[in-house]
Amino acid sequence: MQLARFNEVESRYMSQAFDPVLRVALDVPLPRLFDYRGDGATPPGSLVRVPFGRAAGSFKTAVVISVEAHSEQPADKLKAVAEVLAVPPLPADWLALCQFVSRYYQYPLGGVMAMALPPLLRQGKLPRRPKDKGDKRDKPSATAPTAVPLAPTLWPEQEAAVAAIAAAAGSFTPILLHGITGSGKTEVYLRAIDAVLARNGQALMLVPEIALTPQLEGRVIARFPNARIVTAHSGVADAGRTRGFLDALDGRADIVLGTRLSVFMPLPRLQLIVVDEEHDGSFKQQEGLRYSARDVAIFRAKQRGVPIVLGSATPALETFHHAGGGIKNGGRFRLIELTRRAVAEAPPQVRIVDTRREKLQDGMSARLIDAVSERLQKGEQSLLFLNRRGYAPVLACPACGWISGCRRCAANLVVHLADQRLRCHHCGLETAIPRTCPTCGNLDIHPFGRGTQRLEATIGERFPAARILRIDRDSANTPAKWQALLAAIHAGEADILVGTQMLAKGHDFPKLTLVGVVGADAALFAADFRAPERLFSQLMQVGGRSGRADLPGEVLIQTEYPAHPLYLALADHDYAAFATAQLKEREQAGFPPFVFQALLRAEAKQLDDALDFLARARVVAPAGEQVMRYDPVPMRLYRKMALERAQLLVESASRPALQAFLTEWTTTLYTLKTPRDLRWHLDVDPLEF
Ligand code: ADP
Ligand code: ZN
Ligand code: ZN
């Protein structure tokens, strides 16, 4: 790959009075840009390598933001750009997107761009790309299958949805496509994308996690054998990610299908954005730049004047609220509903099993055990859902009260009997399982509570002839293992699946007819106000796994709160009833989406340092009645990886007021003196508290 080199730029421009100055964004934790001497022919959006830092020969990739006639810095202090990477300049709308994200999330522009750029470009390298001079539309891509499958005939609701999306072409139109799993949402996306390709446009489709992509990827590739499809997720290697980015940038790619980072793909011919499973928490990045890919996607659709389709069976309450909270066409978003299932005649029967008066056998009610046996006899599959991995959440000594705590986190070490370890799920710390109590020497120490491994073991004892597969982040810790597990389920090599929410995600298991929810009550009363929303969505999704083919499905929910409105709404398949009730509660309590929030978090070796920083931050916060400032408090998980953490919540009923406040506040925060080991960050629209 040939690179334009500007090693001589320095000497050439040394003596000239009007050196062009390149103002660039660099990945440093400071909210400012940097000036370098360059060449007038380097337009904004160009990627350059610049010397940075004290060490000789240390370079960073930077993005040219503007070309200036003068710099505030003295001319002899300006260093010269070392090299211009041989890639087309990033387009103005890409720069504007990054600038929006930088302002909205109060994060340095260079940091936003470093994250948005693919790995090789960040390192100043270029991948090898196959030569391609022909028209991209007449050449099938390398991945195209040989067989091109017939698309089903849409039924009226789907037709209407596709027509509405087509009618919105060329205008910013946010559309919430609400329909249960199997109601044909993906089919609607595919038709809408087809229409975009026919108009020579590009489509961007965001999906929550890698776990979802293989099946969907296959379906998209099969449907559009002549399109160039770029997939972008953590399973794609650095060079492939970088090639995909460049293909999107020069317009070669027709469809970009990927996880949250794909929202930053440059797309010159963009005509449609689809966000599948828009409610999924994984769209929000939880470290570094804490952005929501869904919200950035909405901004992007607005910026480019294109429709955006947000699809979900259980929309985020924020999204549902924007779509009029159940009143058709009552909100800023259009609401389109798909009310029938594609394949199964009826949705699964959801039944609530009251466990208050029953002595459970290894966590299972007689009713659930019978239901599993019945499926075994019929050669059908059952799924037991327990959203806690490991064998048991804690090891404890009944004699002295010792419990297996993590010394780095304010959390317990989880018992992993399969590999004889105690393991912290927050920091990864591991120890062997002690034989005796480390405090009093008692021999009789026990695992307390139940995780998927324990359920797997006890189910195995109860049904010795059954083939049991456990599916959680331990058993499916690599994409290959996950694929192998999915293949085994599909091939009918399992009778009973024991798993966490991993199993809830968009997978079709034709022989699965029973879902047993072993225990989910804890989320009903969790301190996090979003816990019920998550629980409803998880149970709805996991329930949707059953009975997708020609066999009717059944869902059994074990609970000690059989009359809880959340479970009743589930039994009625009534998302709108649940969401409307939740929104009413949130409005009364003053929670999002009725207020907008941001968290300032600080972490240090000592909790007091973190709290002290936040207290000072509160004092220097700009005045303003529209923004409520709460007191600094330790986080619930107040110690993690040997760092102690605290946070301060600010909120406002006005988004602009909060944004203005945050911008001013952040500027001040950067000037505060802090202890050496203290780190702070802002989380705008936080999901986790
Ligand atoms: P969702 O994305 O809402 O879960 P899908 O689009 O995946 O739903 O549809 C579920 C199943 O029904 C898929 O196998 C799909 O091919 C099939 N399907 C969707 N629409 C139709 C239709 N109009 N006629 C027949 N089958 C359909
Ligand atoms: Zn003890
Ligand atoms: Zn830990």
Q: What DSSP assignment string belongs to 144-188?
A: --SS-PPPPPPPHHHHHHHHHHHHTTTS--EEEEEE-TTSSHHHH
Residues 219 and 333 in one domain: yes
Which among 277, 311, 338 is the end of a domain? Answer: 338
Q: Whose CA is nearest to atom 12 of ligand 1?
A: 342
Same domain, 353 and 466: yes
The answer on 498 and 580 residing in a single domain is yes
Domain boundary among 527, 552, 586: 586
Q: Rounded to an integer, what is the distance from CA 401 to the centroid of its chain?
A: 39
Q: For residue 113, which of 51, 27, 43 has the smallest C-alpha distance?
A: 27
Residue 196 carries which side chain, given as an amino acid letter? V
Is there a single domain that holds both residue 154 and residue 85? no
Residue 398 lies in a domain: no
Does the Cβ of 343 fall within 6 Å of ligand 1?
Answer: yes
Same domain for 361 and 324: no
454 close to ligand 1 (CB < 6 Angstrom): no
Q: Residue 184 sits in a domain of what CATH number?
A: 3.40.50.300
Q: Which CATH number characterizes residue 664's domain?
A: 3.30.70
Whether residue 114 is contained in a domain is answered as no
Q: Tell whether omega for the bond before 593 is within 30 degrees of 0, i.e. cis.
A: yes
Residue 677 included in any domain: yes
460 with 554, same domain: the answer is: yes
The pTM assigned to this predicted structure is: 0.91
CATH number at residue 59: 3.40.1440
Whether residue 95 is contained in a domain is answered as: no
Answer yes or no: do 24 and 168 share one domain.
Answer: no
Query: Both 178 and 41 in a single domain?
Result: no
The C-alpha atoms of residue 350 and residue 345 are separated, in whole angstroms, by 15
What pLDDT is stored for residue 3 in this prediction? Answer: 39
From the CB of 363, is ligand 1 less than 6 Å away? no
Which H or E run includes 197? helix 185-198
Question: Which residue in 508, 521, 676, 674 sits closest to 600, CA to CA?
Answer: 674
Q: Which residue range(s) make up the domain with 573?
A: 349-389+451-586
Ligand 1 atom 25: residue of nearest CA? 152
Q: Is 605 in the same domain as 475?
A: no
Q: Which amino acid is at 46?
A: S
**Cβ of 423 less than 6 Å from ligand 1:** no
Angstrom CA distances, 491 to 474, 495, 510, 541, stand at 22, 11, 10, 22
- Helix (H) and strand (E) counts in the chain: 18, 29
The pLDDT assigned to 527 comes to 85
Q: Which residue has the tokens 């380097």?
A: 42
Q: Which protein residues have a CB closer than 5 Å to ligand 3 (ion)?
A: 406, 408-409, 424, 426-427, 429
Long-range contact pairs involving 5-12 (C-beta distance under 8 Å, separation at least 24): 5/83, 6/38, 6/39, 6/80, 6/81, 6/82, 6/83, 6/84, 7/82, 7/83, 9/37, 9/38, 9/39, 9/80, 9/81, 10/37, 10/79, 10/80
Expressed in angstroms and rounded, the spacing between residue 636 Cα and the centre of ligand 3 is: 14
Domain count, the chain: 4
User: How far apart are the CA of 473 and the centre of ligand 3, in A?
Assistant: 17
Same-domain pairing of 648 and 566: no
Q: Which of 554, 586, 618 is the last residue of a domain?
A: 586
Check residue 9 and give its pLDDT.
Answer: 40
- 161 falls within a domain: yes
Whether residues 603 and 578 share a domain: the answer is no
Buried b / exposed e along 453-481 (16+ C-beta atoms within 10 A) = bbbbbbbeeebeebebbbbbebbbeeeee
543 falls within a domain: yes
Strand partners, 415: 392, 422
Contact 254, 203 (CB under 8 A): yes
Judge whether 632 lies within some domain: yes
Tell me which residues of the chain have a pLDDT lower than 50. Answer: 1-17, 133-147, 329
Task: Please tell me the distance between residue 137's alpha carbon and the centre of ligand 1 in angstroms.
Answer: 27
Please check whether residues 465 and 604 belong to one and the same domain: no
Of 603, 628, 522, which Cα lies nearest the Cα of 566? 522
The reply to whether 310 falls in a domain is yes
* Centroid of ligand 1 to alpha carbon of 177 (angstroms): 14
Asked whether 182 lines ligand 1 (CB < 6 A), one says yes
